[in-house]
Chain A
């Protein structure tokens, strides 16, 4: 079972990441749940999404201690890093997040300058896909192809023109 917490600013595509992960897991016939934070904190503050991908039926969709935290901004790292399991993983968007040595000494941290990479691709909004690419490389929990398929389902048809750049971002994070 893999418990993933995606977190960042509202507008960074945090819930979309959660949906993508859940969709990809579902495509691989796993049990999945995605629980977005929908409270007042979403506007301007932090948004997060709890995703579970499991071989077995999921009892509770809530996550007290994630296996993986994907922190897209500093506030999410500060808020959630303590919850991550000691054998877990933190993926930090180093364009916006500084990880101190305290955290680094306790938990495996993978940093990626997702925002910078996304801007190089010409669209800041695909930073979340760069981070998801890293997640697949580090955990092998789901296949990159499943995430690519998920894009077609997550984007409404009128936005399908954005799929190629999202795929590029996924691959960049995966290969790096």
Chain B
């Protein structure tokens, strides 16, 4: 077994990237993800990689665009307002089918908001925050270990599908310290990046562009990337199920909220209430089929988020009226307690 280290979530994301072979990081500081930027500065300095604190978020995401186009494993990170600034670049990268990892350690908004934790960027992440029809593979880890494991895996998924991947955390996950096993990352086989811009010596030139003016060309391109999204939806669904086998009430939550809900489930079980938890790990593609299946056999669902009700829409789309879907949320940096959630469940009219 690998020796454990005590690390904060932001550091774990950084080490996961390093272990996955990321040697190109571009970012602009913002709380509560600064430990990640600092970590990359230190580690990439040691390793002779490329670390650039850019002049702005727009510059950072376009540096990722460039590094990825030339075949490098590249990453940027920010928190909510900074991620908003990056949306144009993210749309371009998705259109160009380039792999990269984007980390959003969410803070409370809207606007500049403050630095407290939040999950209010769910829509932006999973529905396409920039313009045009595109998808980000979106991962919602819930522990320091998962932040490490999934960041490392994100680089593989990005390369495999030639698609940007977003790690969607929040301020608490970024700041929280837990034991971390810095596991060796197994290099899985991937096709060579024959599309990369590496200099066209002895081969014909590669072109990466997102402007497609020829009649019908853009529609064909859209069809192609939508087919890819369908493939991802088939191949990549991850979730955790806690005490769902005999459950009558299911909590659905991700990230920090899922940790709190897990405790609520244990508290409810102590009182004889048959509660369970579904924790989506992939937020896009969403584990809709799992939720749809379970909704046939339960009394109701309660979705818990640190926002005004975003993921609950995907839960409702999955359930399609098979059982009632309730919502409990805290906004603007508020964090639900396990007892609040227990009380919310007890207050529901359950038939």
Contacts and interface: CB of A to CB of B under 8 A. Distances in A.
Contacts of B335: 62
A35 B176 CA distance: 5
Interface in B264-292: 266
A60 B260 contact: yes
Given A59-B266, A64-B339, A38 B175 contact: yes
A33 B337 contact: no
B116 interface: yes
Contacts of A40: 114-115
Interface stretch (A19-27, A95-103, A120-128, A160-168): A19-27
A78 to B, nearest CB: 21
Given A22-B6, A26-B179, A35-B172, A61 B259 contact: yes
Contact of A38 (B5, B115, B179, B260): B115
Interface in A9-57: 18-19, 22-23, 26, 31-36, 38-40
Highest count of chain A CB atoms <10 Å: which of B178, B259, B260, B338: B178
B263 interface: yes
B223 interface: no
B4 interface: yes
A79 interface: no
A15 to B, nearest CB: 9
A108 interface: no
Nearest to A65: B339
A153 interface: yes
A39 B115 contact: yes
Contacts of A26: 4, 6, 179
A108 to B, nearest CB: 24
B32 A19 contact: no
A64 B177 contact: no
A34 B176 contact: yes
B177 A22 contact: yes
B14 interface: no
Contacts of B31: 38
B171 interface: yes
A41 B339 CA distance: 25
A33 B114 contact: no
B117 to A, nearest CB: 9
Interface string B324-351: 0000000001010111000000000000
Contacts of B178: 22, 32-34, 61
Determine the interface band of chain A, counting residues with CB < 8 A from chain B: 20 to 34
Interface residues of B, number: 25
* Chain A interface, >50% SS class: mixed
A98 B114 CA distance: 34
A153 B7 CA distance: 11
B162 interface: no
A71 B215 CA distance: 70
B316 interface: no
B6 A153 contact: yes
A60 B279 CA distance: 14
B6 A60 contact: no
B262 interface: yes
Contacts of B338: 59-60, 62, 64
Interface in B175-221: 175-179
Nearest to B257: A60
Contacts of B177: 18-19, 22, 33-36
A39 B5 CA distance: 25
B116 A39 contact: yes
Nearest to B171: A38
Interface in A109-155: 153
Contacts of A19: 6, 177
A88 B6 CA distance: 26
A32 B4 CA distance: 12
Nearest to B144: A33
Interface in A64-102: 64
Contacts of A22: 6, 177-178
Contacts of A62: 259-260, 335, 337-338
A59 B262 contact: yes
A82 to B, nearest CB: 15
A59 B32 contact: no
Contacts of A34: 6, 176-178
Nearest to A32: B179
Contacts of A61: 172, 176, 178, 259
10 contacts: A32-B179, A33-B177, A35-B176, A35-B177, A40-B114, A59-B259, A60-B259, A61-B178, A62-B260, A153-B5
**Those 3 A-B pairs whose CB atoms lie nearest each other, nearest first:** A59-B262, A60-B263, A59-B263
